Amino acid sequence: MGIFLTLALNGIVNGSLYFLMAAGLTLIFGLMRVVNFAHGGLYQWGAYLATFVFATTDNFVLALAVGMLIAIILGIVMERGLISFVYHNENGQLLVTMGIMLILTELIKVPFGPSELSSNTPTDLSNSWLVGQVVIVQYQLFMIGASIVVFILLLWILHKTRLGMIVRAGVYNPELVEACGIAIGRVFTIVFALGAGLAGLAGALAGPYLGAVTPTMGFDMQLSAFIIVVVGGLGSLTGSFIGSMIIGILTAVVSFYFSSLAVLVNVVVMVIVLLIRPQGLFGERESAT
Amino acid sequence: MTRHTRQFGPLLLILVVVALVPVLFGVGGITNLLEQVFAFALFAMSYDLLIGYTGVVSFGHAVFFGTGAYVVGIFLAHSGGSSGGLLVGTCVALGMSILLSLLIASISLRIRTVYFAMITLAVGQTFYVLSGSQMLQPLTNADDGMTVPLPVWLTHDRPVYYFSLAVLVLCLVLLRLFVRSPVGLVLQGIRENEGRVLTLGHSVYRFKSIAFVISGLMATVAGILYVIAQTFVSTGVYDVSISLDVLLMTIIGGIGTLYGGLLGALIIIVAQTEFTNLAGTYPIFGRYTILFGVLYIVIVRFMPRGIVGTILESIKRRSGQEG
């Protein structure tokens, strides 16, 4: 029972990290029909810079802010400078964002080197308690709390603000939104920056949780995030949340028993979902285009 | 007749030059490099069948390349490098490739193209993890990779070189026949206007699946050529960077041109080798992947037809003006 609860807790922590990534991917896809294959690169830059800032200033709030900010800046530059040229060119988007991913993952090695960098947990958050047979780490609770806050905040933005209304309308018919006199291009940039910021935040939170930042962390995370949005349904925020929890818990359980096979199990789950519900658990049916 | 000479003349000339390389320059560094180029050229052409003729992007084509390399490597290693091992391994690899491509096609080709890219990436990564897992250690030697013994008739550089070249030419001819066949023409129709092909009564899904299977088979053969040239196989053949390199080779050469892959493979393999050498003196050249990333963007933005495609287009335009 103790093992089961510990694994469940670890899974939820994984899931909350995944959710921050998947939410950004799904928001960007929902509005712009762009799958950002550079999302893992933004996560990685957030992770490295937050680790660096925390190591030098010992200020965790500043580290989180810098991690988010660098991802937002990179996101805006990417969207304005490169991706805006390939809207309506699906293969072009795939190639351009993957090219950016390659650049981001390699470029980070220039200042920080190709080996891993250890990442410390702030002392204020490194308490732990033994409840029953389960060890609860304060930092893990902090991560779960952060992702719940983000989830609620996103739901609030989408359903209660003017921006959210425009975004929801834009998902269904961007041309009509533009015809109403709203600069949809600017909304695209805002949503892209928001998604990028979430990836940066995920990276900044992931460093202390994983204990180290590595050059492959971006690709690894991106892979899980893709599996999640495919399982949950691209474009659905709730789908991303449920998908993150499913894949998070599954990863925790499988890695405990068969250390390296988590990817395999995740892919099998993805295949099963695709065979039964090609549009994902919460996705809306859409014909092949 | 003259049209044919104009079309195939340059290709034949290149073939003669390439065939003379071992005679003129001897065997060793340059033939080893070219053997790699042959393997990747075939790989890139197989990829072109996918992106250039059906318009879908895969980020996991190394699945087939790696399976070719691993299966033949395993059969050769366990048969002590016999010709029988090579033959049986090739058949098993091709069979596995067909099953695998049908499976991937059935889950991903019916839905959006972006799903196809994500799914192939995930499947590719699974094979990478599996090939390095301790569970399959007796078969694959896990992370350490394995040395592959070759049959006696392939133990010298020159036979390997001509064998690889012959397989490449054979596959090139087969691919060209396929592209010009009625099936190939429907595929080009799908790329240009999927909706119209659908309304003409063709099953777009079935045609895309056929292209995917053939593309997978050719990529598997490319992997076999690679393992013969390297006499070593490790998890690197399944790495996502292999899938991304071959994608870059294809778009540099020019998608939808088939021959573009030959040029793209040559450029990327030579660049990789040169950069790796330079990195010995100047470590910054070890980060050459940055340049490859930039190339992705530059080609999509400024040269979507690639080198061969751009040249072909300008020739067509010029002859159009004359006529």
CATH at residue B153: 1.10.3470
Rounded CA Rg of chain B: 20
B322, with CB counted inside 10 A (0-12, 13-18, 19+), is exposed
Residue B1 lies in a domain: no
Task: Considering only residues A193 and B132, tell me which one the structure prediction assigns the higher pLDDT.
Answer: A193
pLDDT of amino acid A133:
82
pLDDT of amino acid A182:
87
Average pLDDT taken over every residue of chain A:
90
Contact yes or no for B117 and A35 at CB 8 A: yes
Q: State the DSSP code for B55.
A: -
Over residues A133-172, the pLDDT tens digits come to 888 889 999 999 999 999 999 999 999 999 999 988 888 8
Q: How many CB atoms lie within 10 A of CB A130?
A: 8
Q: At A285, is the pLDDT very low, low, confident or very high (cuts 50, 70, 90)?
A: low
pLDDT of amino acid A289:
33
Residue B144 lies in a domain: yes
pLDDT of amino acid A33:
84
Q: Is the CB of residue B76 less than 8 Å from the CB of residue B148?
A: yes
Q: Residue A236 pLDDT more than 90?
A: no
Residue B19 lies in a domain: no
Residue B147 lies in a domain: yes
Over residues A93-146, the pLDDT tens digits come to 999 999 999 999 999 999 998 889 999 888 888 888 888 888 888 999 999 999
pLDDT of amino acid A278:
80
Average pLDDT taken over every residue of chain B:
88
Please choose, from the candidates B219, B120, B113, B73, the residue with its C-alpha nearest in 3D space to the C-alpha of residue A91.
B113
Q: Residue B94 pLDDT more than 80?
A: yes
Please choose, from the candidates A221, A225, A220, A215, the residue with its C-alpha nearest in 3D space to the C-alpha of residue A270.
A225
pLDDT of amino acid B323:
45
Q: Does A264 touch chain B (CB under 8 A)?
A: yes
Identity of the highest mean pLDDT range in A102-111, B273-282, B304-313: A102-111
Q: Does B102 touch chain A (CB under 8 A)?
A: no
Chain B partners of A109 at a C-beta cutoff of 8 Å?
A: 287
Contact yes or no for A261 and B133 at CB 8 A: yes
Q: Residue B262 pLDDT more than 60?
A: yes
Span B261-275, average pLDDT = 93
Residue B2 lies in a domain: no
Domain range for B93: 29-322
Q: Does B302 touch chain A (CB under 8 A)?
A: no
Residue B9 lies in a domain: no
Q: Is the CB of residue A166 less than 8 Å from the CB of residue A194?
A: no
Q: Does B240 touch chain A (CB under 8 A)?
A: yes
CA–CA distance, B76 with B55 (Å, rounded to integer): 36
Instruction: Domain count for chain B, please give it.
Output: 1
The verdict on ipTM greater than 0.85 is yes
Q: Does B295 touch chain A (CB under 8 A)?
A: yes
Contact yes or no for A106 and B297 at CB 8 A: no
- Where exactly are the structural domains of chain A? 18-215
A70 φ/ψ angles, rounded to the nearest 5 degrees: -65, -40
Residue B302 lies in a domain: yes
Q: How many CB atoms lie within 10 A of CB B10?
A: 11
Chain B partners of A230 at a C-beta cutoff of 8 Å?
A: 115, 118-119, 122
pLDDT of amino acid A287:
40
Residue B21 lies in a domain: no
